[in-house]
Amino acid sequence: MRTTATLPLSPFEVDEALCRRVLDAALAGGAGHGDLYFQRVEQTSVVLEDGIVSRAATAVDRGVGIRAVNGDQTGFAYCEELEEAPMLAAARAASAIASGGARRAAPVGAPATGRGLYPIVRPWPDVELDSKLAVARAVEERLRASDPRVAKVRVAWMDTDELVALVDAAGRAISDHRPMAVVSATLTLVDANGRTESNSSSLAMRRGLDWFSAERLADFADDLVRRTQVLFDARRPPAGEMPVVLAAGASGILLHEAIGHGLEADHNRKGQSIYSDRVGTKVAGPDVTVVDSGLHPGERGALEFDDEGYPSERTVLIEDGVLRGYLHDTISARHYGVEPTGSGRRESFRHVPMPRMRCTYMENGPNDRDEIVASVKRGILAENFANGQVAIGAGDFTFFVKNGWLIEDGRLTAPIRDVNIIGNGPDALSRITMVANDFRLDTGGWTCGKEGQSVPVSQGLPTVLVSSLTVGGTHGA
């Protein structure tokens, strides 16, 4: 008897026998591996605009992604009706990736259980709408009362309840119940001369209602107020190369773009990444240790199991300056003859998994923040970011700075705004000359896009000095 094996499947109203028939169909062309990825997502969002709840939305999405894997090749189809006929039809479409003798799926084993990485008492669908509105309203009221120049306040709430069950042809079964909640806000100030400035911020966690305490929401709102007020005095820095100090927290975007994507093993397996032949080589100074981990409880990038059913883990990418390894899915792990790193992720059951980041960060170094700022003759400190991007092969990466400061003679002298910073991954890593001891993970709602698929991620950094990057700015300023 393996009654426990039916547990992850029961919410999808399918049983082990049906799963094996569908997996057999997926392997009918001779593919060596196959999996069924069942997913149900329930989402609620509300928007508070001009002082009232101007809209609300709910969404329910459910279905199964069926995959047949033959070496490096993937056949894939999904269906939204969890009935035998459409599932078998989808499995047959996926099976076409291979052409050989049919294989059979193994009996489904006992489902693996997680470690409790999502500290939540009441799942979001059980939380009454009023409590969610109260969170949005608390932020809205705090922002509205913050400054006589407030012209517009917009606060959005979104919660997601995601249930995943995976069964594969080798008999592995897992389930993962993933919560997510995001508060985002935009504040617009207009001064007496009609000058308008706006800024946005978000707070995102795999946690429950209790985490959104009055104090946290007040801190979140106050931070957005400061970020917006300072824009009235902010200017563009001079254009060109200069030292860039990255403030602790969200500056982890540097790692995400400059190295994280380049170490996703699919890009390396295919020889596309600038890091393709550099494992075991020195890529940064001895104070630089970079990690990608799914194990930080409650963080947006936390993950019990990846979307191929492997336990998430802490993967060291760079250790004391030496490149240690890649982020793997099962295809690349088999290619390299290593264990998967629990990094195979997908946006939904409609997508195939691929190596992706979770929480990407740098560990603490020996310096302190003030010492780093004081060491810069003329440069900038980057504090808040909007977005970033990387060209995997050439290694060029960018990130957009919403707020920062000009550094002159070791002191922060004037706020700066809205500039893009561009660099080259290996160059930038080798130019990290100081690392502080004030590491923190950012709590913003970061979403990583790759080949059309979006997944939630986190990032973090201690204060870091990059001795030279190209800063967008005004010529001759």
Partner 1 sequence: MRCRDGAVETVEESRSTSVRLELLVDGRYSTHATTDLRDGPLDAFVGEAVALTRLLEVDPHRRPTPEALWRDRREIDLDLVDPRVDAISNEDRIAACRSIEEGARSGADVLGVTTWASDGRVTTARVSSDGFSGTRTCTSASLGTQVGVADEGGKRPEGYRFCSATHLADLMDAGEVGRVALARTLAKLGARKSASARATLVLAPEAGGGFLRRPLGALHASAIQQRSSFLADRMGEPVSSPLLRIVDEPHRPRSLASRLYDGDGMTTRERTIVDDGVLRSFYVDVYYGSKLGLEPTTTGSTNTVFQGGEGDLESLTREVADGFLVRGWLGGNANATTGDFSFGFHGHRITGGRIDAPVAEMNVTGNYREVLPRLVAVGADPDPWSTFRTPTLVFEGVDFSGA
Restricted to residues 331-390, the positions that interact with partner 1 (CB under 8 A) are 350, 352, 386-390
Judge contact between 177 and 162, C-beta under 8 A.
yes
| Nearest partner of 62 among 193, 165, 155, judged by Cα | 165
| Nearest partner of 59 among 158, 175, 163, judged by Cα | 158
**Does residue 79 belong to the site contacting partner 1 (CB under 8 A)?**
yes
**Does residue 99 belong to the site contacting partner 1 (CB under 8 A)?**
no
Taking the least distance from each CB to partner 1, the nearer of 7 and 150 is 150
Taking the least distance from each CB to partner 1, the nearer of 409 and 451 is 451
CB of 314 to partner 1, least distance (A): 28
Interface pick for partner 1 out of 21, 236, 282, 335 (rule CB under 8 A):
236
Q: How far is CA 428 from CA 176, 288, 372, in A?
A: 37, 12, 17
Q: What are phi and psi of 162, to 5 degrees?
A: -120, 125
Category of 410 on φ-ψ map: left (φ > 0), alpha (ψ -120 to 50) or beta:
left
Q: How many Å from the N-terminal Cα to the C-terminal Cα in the chain? A: 75
CB of 59 to partner 1, least distance (A): 4
CB of 179 to partner 1, least distance (A): 19
**Does residue 129 belong to the site contacting partner 1 (CB under 8 A)?**
yes
| Nearest-angstrom CA–CA distance, 101 and 92 | 14
Judge contact between 125 and 42, C-beta under 8 A.
yes
> The tokens of 440 are what?
């923190």
Residues 405-464 that bind partner 1 (CB under 8 A): 417-424, 426
Helix, strand counts (H, E) of the chain: 9, 22
Taking the least distance from each CB to partner 1, the nearer of 156 and 435 is 156
Residues 6 or more apart from 368 whose CB is under 8 A from it?
436, 437, 438, 463
CB of 108 to partner 1, least distance (A): 24
Taking the least distance from each CB to partner 1, the nearer of 284 and 435 is 284
**Does residue 326 belong to the site contacting partner 1 (CB under 8 A)?**
no
| Nearest-angstrom CA–CA distance, 433 and 163 | 44
**Does residue 10 belong to the site contacting partner 1 (CB under 8 A)?**
no
Amino acid in position 234: A
Stretch that binds partner 1, among 148-156, 289-297, 367-375, 457-465 (CB under 8 A): 148-156
Residues 13-72 that bind partner 1 (CB under 8 A): 44, 46, 49-50, 52-63, 72
CB of 477 to partner 1, least distance (A): 9
16-26 vs 84-95: helix crossing angle, rounded to 10: 30
**Does residue 157 belong to the site contacting partner 1 (CB under 8 A)?**
no
**Does residue 279 belong to the site contacting partner 1 (CB under 8 A)?**
no
Site string for partner 1, 169-208 (x = CB under 8 A): -----------------x-x-x-----xxx----------
Taking the least distance from each CB to partner 1, the nearer of 361 and 397 is 397
